[in-house]
Amino acid sequence: MVTKEKFDTVFHGDIIGKEIIFLESTTSTNDVAMKTGRKRENPEGIVVIADSQTHGKGRLGREWVSPPGVNLYFTVLLRPPFPPGEASILTLTAAVAVVSAIRNYTGVNAGIKWPNDILVNGKKAGGILLEMKAAKNRINLLAAGIGLNVNMPLYELPEDITSLSTSLKMETGESVDRVRLFGKILAEIENTYKILLNGNKRALINEWIRLNSTLTKKVTVKSPDKIISGLAENINDNGELIIRLPDGKTETVNAGDVTIVKG
Ligand code: BTN
């Protein structure tokens, strides 16, 4: 049994965490947050956190392994005043917040792999899944779902991803207080979201660049319609990745799976 009160009260910002809904178990916190957000009277900043998920969702239709008692699974409900085409900046904003909180609270040297994987020692320890409901020119509702492997032991991971995934504890050998880390992440999200609302997108992109582990590397990007290989050169103001191809031309990608090519 998890002490719900602690998750409920660990952080209350002006925007983020005005209300924190703790669930012992649910299908997916993104689903609960989207349902909550459909009621217009529910303000942005509500956070849904679960101790375990029965249908945790990852990017590109994958499953997000969500056993109880060890990790963080939560979703922040937002109503950003931006057009849907600018949603990717929110992924970057969330990634900056999560990685800053991990670095500051645990001292673990986490990094961001474009667009939103949280890496520790080259392995994936967390990820971010954005879902939204939007009209033509405005986002009505955005669920920023964050999954972070905190104290999960290796044997809880499916065999096919053990070589690619990790948890904070697996990398440091030490348990991390999930509740306090959750509080620190929410505080960072409040901080970065306010920077975004104040129009300082460039500051967030610069911070993303400082914390990233993709740029300057040789990469292969599998996007829905093609595979591109080249040098990850930069990201633009929309958070899209710019790849320098072997023929010297550049290609810009806004979605896909990046593999960093070794050697
Ligand atoms: C990824 O594939 O990298 C994204 C993983 C996102 C997982 C989190 S856990 C909390 C929230 N609820 C979900 O069902 N998914 C996200």
Other beta carbons within 10 Å of 92: 27
CA–chain centroid gap for 90, Å, is 9
Nearest Cα residue to atom 3 of ligand 1: 127
**Containing structural domain, residue 156:** 4-211
Q: Same domain for 122 and 199?
A: yes
Q: What is the average pLDDT value for the chain, to the nearest integer? A: 93
- Give the helix/strand (H/E) hosting 87: none
Q: Same domain for 235 and 167?
A: no
User: From the CA of 26, how far away is ligand 1's center (Å)?
Assistant: 13
Residue whose C-alpha is closest to residue 106's, from 43, 155, 171? 171
The 10s digit of each residue's pLDDT in 59-76 is 888 999 999 999 999 999
Alpha-carbon gap, residue 99 to 108, rounded angstroms: 9
Q: Same domain for 151 and 227?
A: no
pLDDT at 220: 96
pLDDT at 5: 63
pLDDT at 159: 74
**How many domains is the chain partitioned into structurally?**
2
Beta bridge partners of 251: 243
Q: Taking residues 87-110, report their average pLDDT.
A: 94
Other beta carbons within 10 Å of 223: 15
The answer, yes or no, to whether residue 3 has pLDDT greater than 70, is no
Domain CATH number, residue 42: 3.30.930.10
pLDDT at 218: 96
The 10s digit of each residue's pLDDT in 223-244 is 878 899 999 999 998 888 999 9
Predicted model pTM: 0.94
Domain CATH number, residue 238: 2.30.30.100
Of 25, 30, 119, the residue with max ligand 1 atoms within 8 A of its CB, to mutate for a pocket test, comes to 30
